[in-house]
């Protein structure tokens, strides 16, 4: 099976609740429309057998823990219903109402064991706190105990120079925030402390592959002491990466040189990315990697990470 691990579902209730709050995909940019039928039609045309659905940015927390809890609960129910209606074409990542650890653990207990879900979807930061923050350790401990696959999707950082760079911020800030989250986890030794978690970072890990050598040179510094055996390179090689919107030779080529094709997975980022762009990115990835490694990325790697999908 050819599996897309970075594929979004945007349900009407979620969209309407955010619209009522004046919240879009990012400042000034509305959420795109979506339906299961749209995804299935795109998948059929591009030869994608199954997509793992998630919500992604802007997530669920907008300063109100109660609202985050409510939105996550409804979204997970909608995800389960969508998978139930199309069990041969979809699975999903559980949405969690962080930064409330208590609420996140409760929602994980409520839905994670359901057949619809093959892992958990997290954002790079929650109200400016990154995933390696010790406050989130109880959630990571539970994910470790469950042997969870965790897909990390970027969101906007708490602070960025919005007035200085006249671009929609996702174009650069998502890449930088993926880097911050990955480095934050690495500096806190999360890959060693919670070895049962399989991490997937979006968009080839942002700029982290480029920074790997720079950080490795700095490893004598005391702030890198918790990275542990294997150092920065070892940590980055323990993670997985989806290739959504990062298929150029200087993006995909960089991460492939660092971790090998065995740590890569395809991702479309649909519907935030249109079908034409997804098609072009998949074709470019096949050209950069070659036919054999691309088959490993699209089929063999997800079969290894999600064995229940190919049974």
Can you give the three-state secondary structure of the chain, one letter per residue?
CCEEEEEECCCHHHHHHHHHCCCCCECCECCCCCCHHHHHHHHHHHCCCEEEEECCCCCCCCCCHHHHHHHHHHHHHHHHHHHHHCCCCEEEEEECCCCCHHHHHHHHHHHCCCCCEEEEEEECEECCEECCCHHHHHHHHHHHHHCCEEEEECCCCCCCCCCCCCCCCHHHHHHHHHHHHHHHHHHCCHHHHCCCCEEEECHHHCCHHHHHHHHHHCCCCHHHHHHCCCHHHHHHHHCEEECCCCCCCCCHHHHHHHHCHHHEECCCCCCCCCHHHHHHHHHHHHHHHCHHHHHHHHHHHHHHHCHHHHC
**What is the total count of domains within the chain?**
1
Phi, psi of 215 (to 5 degrees): -70, -40
Tens of pLDDT, residue by residue over 187-234, are 999 999 999 999 999 999 999 999 999 999 988 988 888 898 899 999
Higher pLDDT among residues 162 and 2, named by residue: 2
% the chain with pLDDT above 90: 91
Q: Which residues contact 47 (CB under 8 A, 6 or more apart)?
A: 2
For the segment 151-160, what is each residue's pLDDT rounded down to a tens digit?
999 999 999 9
Place of tokens 């969690």: 96
- Per-residue pLDDT tens over the stretch 80-103: 999 999 999 999 999 999 999 999
Tell whether the model's pLDDT for residue 311 goes beyond 80: no
Q: What is the distance between the alpha carbons of residues 123 and 197, in angstroms, rounded to a whole number?
A: 15
Res 229: pLDDT: 87
Q: Which residue segment(s) compose the domain that 84 sits in? A: 3-310
C-alpha separations of 31 from 8, 200, 258, 270 in Å: 11, 24, 34, 12
With 80 as the cut, is the pLDDT of residue 123 above it?
Answer: yes
Instruction: State both tokens at 163.
Output: 């007035």
How sure is the predictor about 107, in pLDDT bands with cuts at 50, 70 and 90? very high
- For residues 152-174, give the mean pLDDT: 93
Beta carbons of 201 and 152 less than 8 angstroms apart:
yes
pLDDT value of position 226: 87
Contacts of 308 (CB under 8 A, 6+ apart): 118
| pLDDT averaged over every residue in the chain | 95
pLDDT digits over 269-279, tens only? 999 999 999 99
Instruction: Summarize pLDDT for 21-76 with one digit per residue, the tens.
Output: 999 999 989 999 999 999 999 999 999 999 999 999 999 999 999 999 999 999 99
CA atoms in the 13 A half-sphere facing the CB of 32: 17
Least confident of 26-30, 76-80, 119-123, 141-145: 26-30
What is the C-alpha end-to-end distance of the chain, expressed in Å? 10
What mean pLDDT comes out for the span 5-32? 95
Query: How confident is the model at residue 223, as a pLDDT?
Result: 87
The Cα–Cα gap between 256 and 248 comes to: 11
Q: How far apart are CA 216 and CA 91, in angstroms?
A: 37
Confidence of residue 162 (pLDDT cuts 50, 70, 90): confident
User: Peptide bond before 271: cis, by omega within 30 degrees of 0?
Assistant: yes
The CATH number that applies at residue 288 is: 3.20.20.140
Candidates 299, 310, 309; CA nearest to 117 is: 309
Asked if 175 and 167 count as a contact pair (C-beta separation under 8 A), the reply is no
Asked whether residue 139 carries a pLDDT value surpassing 70, the answer given is: yes
Per-residue model confidence (pLDDT) at position 310: 67
Given CA atoms 206, 45, 95, 301 in this order, what sign does their dihedral have? negative
């Amino acid at each position: 099976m050819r599996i897309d691990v970075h594929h979004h579902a945007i349900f009407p209730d979620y969209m309407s609740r955010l619209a009522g709050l004046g919240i879009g995909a990012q400042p000034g940019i509305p959420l795109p429309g979506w339906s299961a039928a749209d995804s299935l039609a795109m998948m059929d045309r591009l030869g994608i057998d199954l997509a793992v659905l998630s919500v992604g940015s802007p997530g669920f927390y907008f300063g109100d823990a109660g609202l985050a809890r409510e939105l996550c609960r409804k979204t997970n129910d909608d995800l389960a219903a969508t998978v139930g209606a199309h069990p041969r074409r979809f699975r999903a990542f559980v949405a969690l109402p962080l930064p409330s650890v208590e609420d996140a653990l409760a929602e994980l207990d409520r839905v994670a064991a359901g057949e619809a879900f093959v892992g958990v979807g997290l954002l790079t930061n929650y109200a400016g706190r990154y995933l390696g923050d010790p406050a989130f350790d109880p959630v990571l401990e539970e994910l470790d105990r469950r042997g969870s696959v965790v897909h990390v999707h970027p969101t906007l950082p708490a602070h960025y120079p919005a007035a200085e760079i006249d671009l929609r911020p996702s174009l650069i800030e998502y890449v930088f925030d993926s880097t911050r989250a990955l480095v934050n986890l690495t500096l806190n030794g999360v890959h060693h402390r919670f070895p049962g978690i399989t991490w997937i970072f979006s968009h080839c890990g942002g700029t982290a592959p480029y920074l790997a050598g720079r950080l490795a040179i700095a490893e004598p510094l005391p702030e890198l002491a918790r990275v542990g055996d294997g150092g920065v390179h070892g940590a980055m090689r323990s993670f997985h990466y989806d290739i959504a919107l990062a298929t150029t030779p200087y993006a995909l080529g960089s991460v492939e040189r660092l971790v090998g094709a065995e740590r890569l997975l395809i991702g479309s980022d649909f519907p935030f990315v249109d079908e034409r762009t997804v098609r072009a990115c998949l074709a470019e990835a096949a050209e950069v990697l070659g036919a054999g490694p691309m088959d490993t990325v699209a089929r063999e790697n997800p079969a290894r990470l999600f064995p229940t999908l190919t049974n």
